[in-house]
Structure 1
Amino acid sequence: MFHSIKSKFLALCLSSLCVLGLAVGAVSLTALTRATSREEVDNMNRTAELYCSELDLKLVQTEDVVSFAATGLVSGASAGTGALWDGERRARFTAGLDRILRDTLLSLPEARAYYTYYAEELTGGAADGVWYVREDEHSPFRQRQWYKASEFLPENGQELTLYTKSAETGHGHWVEPYYSIAQGKMLISYVMPVYRDGTFLGLVGVDLDFGEILRSLERRPVYETGYAFLADGTGKTHYHIDAPQGVPEDHLGAKLVDKDVSHGATSDTDALGRYRIDGTTYDIATCSLRNGLELLVMAPTHEVQAEARAATLQLVAILIFCLLLFAAITLVLTQRLTRHLQALSSAAREIAHGNLDVKIHAESDDEVGKLAGVLQHTVDSLKETLARLHRLTFNDGLTGILNRLGIDRALENWHAQAQGTPAVLISLDLDDFKFVNDLLGHAAGDEALRALARRLHDFFGRTALVARNGGDEFTVLLPATTAAQAERLLSELTQTPQHYLYGGVERSFTLSIGYVSYPDQAESLRDLTRYADAALYATKLKGKNGFSRYTAEQEQVDRAKLSFSLRDISQNLPGAIIVCSVADGKLLYANDEAFRLLDCTDADDFAAYTQKDVVRILYPGDRTETIASVRSQTSKGEARQAYVRCRVRTKEGAVRYVLAFARKRASAYYGEVYYIVMVEEKEPA
């Protein structure tokens, strides 16, 4: 059935699109369901929180008014004398307090009454107080008959009224909804007892129209047919505008279907409950008010989920449209792809056979054309990578000049074409390079190597082959150069020390060089390399810092002599060897015996203890005298040396006696330095 590339590709694309569409659709629907479910919960909770905050604002305003009045009552009582207040003063205070309460509560539409009851102790035994009531928000407050405050105290013995709880607790208290016979309506009240120094002064309270609060909630929109209502703190009693006295939560036959419609996607406090009432499911969000009541927002589930259903249908329609569109595009692309696949196949075979010069022409801007462009870019990148690998293989990563492999190949190419033309092969290295690394660190050594590579390249010119064999060893080939010409060049090169900059300080080093001439001294590459190496070691045996031409006698040199380096000798002498700067006492070198003398484990431990200052080695009581003695002795005579007995203090705090021999000499690297040898002695008797 599928014999051609076109049919196979078309079948593959269409089946892949179907599978992809189903997978994307399933994932998208799942994600959309979760997202919309969360959005539904958030919308319901936001609605509940908005209405709750508005109602809480009214409750806070009520509490503030009562608290202000209570504060005024305490202040007024504090100003009294004798019977605390006389009637005239109390009347003036009551009138002022009445104006304040009246003016403040006029801005609170639900306020229906406010009252202040004075304790008999405050009035000198006389019954006094105020109680103002209004019918609705448009009516003025009118005074009603008042009662003694003592009637509401627990110790009165009478049946406790709705205000008694506040008197008992000693702080403000919201009274649960109740029906007031005097006012003929459902109210909620905030009552606050007033005390001064433990003495009961009276009560201050405000009544709010509970029915008006329920009506305002009923007017609030919740989707299309939803509504808001109140419940007590347990949620068992519901308050509706049609039943302000409260009805049981199951009065409509409500049955709990799901206590968390998000199934854990939200916190317990944000979870929506789902109930079934008369065959219709409702989602309910709950929010707590500051007076202990609960505000509930309820809407039919199909209204809450209407946006989710619309989004789901829209997503399904988009997926179907995309599948059809992708199928049509696949048909068109299949026609175009098959025209260029053969060309790409031919180019791939050329690349597989190692032909990286192939040119792949992108005849279109579609995926196949882009594939052709990417393949061409890959081939070009591969060519560049191979060239870069070639450079990394034959060039030194630190200096950029040829490495050992590079110079070997370059010498082979030169030797194949030399045909007896005079040339000189040079082998050289940095003198005492190990001291640069040991004293200044490998970063300084690297900078010295880079500086030398630049110097050799600039000095010998572009025709010379300059390479770093490894470490501090370099090789230079001077083609078309005689031995006499090379000697003049090397004489000029070694007349002055080489320089490099490290740590903002210019430092110097010298070179040891050996060279051999072609073809009069050697013809093969093996002999040229060996003879140049022998000449280099001959220079080192003569004291370094110079150059030597190969002679046959140099082959007989016992190189074992060079195995005794300064480090070998210094580490095995029976004494502590220390080198320091004359100018500032900075420590430049110390051997293992010096570490042992001061109870240090290694060079880092030694440097940390001495802070690279030679003075810190000396016992504090001997420092001034010892330094003065050494400076005095080394400033006299040609020997410029000193003998001194002194004490040193170790890292562990021990004091040891030493005989020190110091000699002052000039160093090409560090100026004047002290070479010091210390031998431990027994403590004097």
Structure 2
Amino acid sequence: MKSIQTKFILLIFGCVLLSAAVIGGAGILSAGRVIDEDSGRIMNLTCDDRAQEIDALLLRIEQSVNTLAEYSAGQITDLTRFHDDASYVDTVTDQIRAVALNAANNTEGALAVYVRFSPDLAPSTAGLFWSRTDRSGSFTELKPTDISRYSAEDVEHVGWYYQPIENGKPLWMMPYQNKNIGVQMISYVIPLYRDGVAIGVVGMDIDFEVIEHIVKDIRIYDTGYAFLVDDDARILSHKSAPHGSLMADLEQGLQPTADQMVASASDNGLLSYTWRGNDKRMALSTLHNGMRLGITAPVSEIDAAMNALIFQNVISFALIALLSIVLTVLVTRRIIQPLKDLDRAAKRIADGDLSIKLESRTKDEVGTLTESFRQTVEHLRRYLEYINGLAYRDGLTGLKNKMAYNDAVERLNEEIRSGKPAFGVVVLDINDLKDVNDTHGHDFGDMLIIDSGKIICDVFKHSPVYRVGGDEFVVILEQRDLTSRCELLNDLERKIEQVNADAQLASPVSLARGLAVYDETIDCDFNAVFKRADEAMYRNKAAIKAFSASEE
């Protein structure tokens, strides 16, 4: 059976649990939605921001090449002469040379710059080509490639020339490896036109590392990073994936993600995928040159804030639940404790114990009930004391009677059985009570009994005195009265003499007494001690009679 306090605690805990589930669940769902939106916004904004940084670099490169292209086209004032006069071509080239070198020197990451004229209008090596032999070296003018040696379909060798011409507009070429200097490069090429006729191209090779440096410097969350792919989801720059590999081929299960990257018309939202066993999300942004900048991070890090929120909610719920239980225990204890006290009191009363004390701790209905119960117990205790007084008191002397004496004997017998009690027994008997009754009447006899009882009680102040017969008294000595038993017996004799001398009694008081002390070696129960005391009393009675006879 559950106690009332347990029911209160279960009720409060259930309410707290339900409230936490409803409020916390709604809060977590709402926070999860906000966190998802924030994470998507953060990743997309970061991706767009860094894409703009790369685009700014690309635009600066484009501006340098555009300026050089406009200047180069402006130097060809006579297209017919350019076609027929080789010296005119050389003059134009000389005019462009310094401008081209200056453009290359002032463009971040530039590794080479070239101005090439159409082999249909000028010699196949016409133009200029400045290149660095290494990243830190200075520009050196090299002999231009002989375009006529390669077909227009040979993209590897002359794609830089024919592709812009065929497109009819500026072209960013995807990164490729320059095997001469062992550098990854990316090129921007502009076709040159004069009077609607294609007269050549102007281009610049850029160290792809300047772009990769920006990409590698991008960090998001704890381990998030950035990468570059082309519009076919081919890896251009990645912290671990090899250059040129298709994303779909890197790991089984990436094909749908690669298809999404290729088909995505916009860069909003996040793509979810799994990479090397880790669930991840990716933001994409299309660069000015057609490359795609991706920023990726593990879902565990993106959702860390939500996980932390869930953990905080769990901790908060645990603390609130604990606090609620503590408060419930404290509050219900004030309510339940008086009821528990009443319950214990009722059980003790049922067992016959009326010594309980009840205090009204509250001023509510429980306090009123406690006070009523306390008054009832007090009235019952007084009534039982009155009844016990009638049952255990001698009606004549007011001393303890034979019934009370029997209870005391039972108690001492129990102590003898369970331990080694220390007590003594004094048996007293009124001498010549029958003669007083016969001579002066029972009223005088009763007065003699009363006077004798008073004398005994005055001497044995700390021990119970029992009237066990008409003229017989028993005193049970314990503690200091037991220790002082001899002195007390002497005091008894002196007290009797004093009372007989001072009081005008119809009959003098004469008490025969006998003393015995419990000895565990010879006494097996109380009656054995009493018997020795009673025998001593009779010997004393005989001695008193003999003394009285000798005086007569």
Scaled by the length of structure 2, the TM-score of the pair is 0.50
Q: Which has the higher helix share?
A: 2
Q: Which has the higher strand share?
A: 1
Structure showing greater Rg: 2
Scaled by the length of structure 1, the TM-score of the pair is 0.41
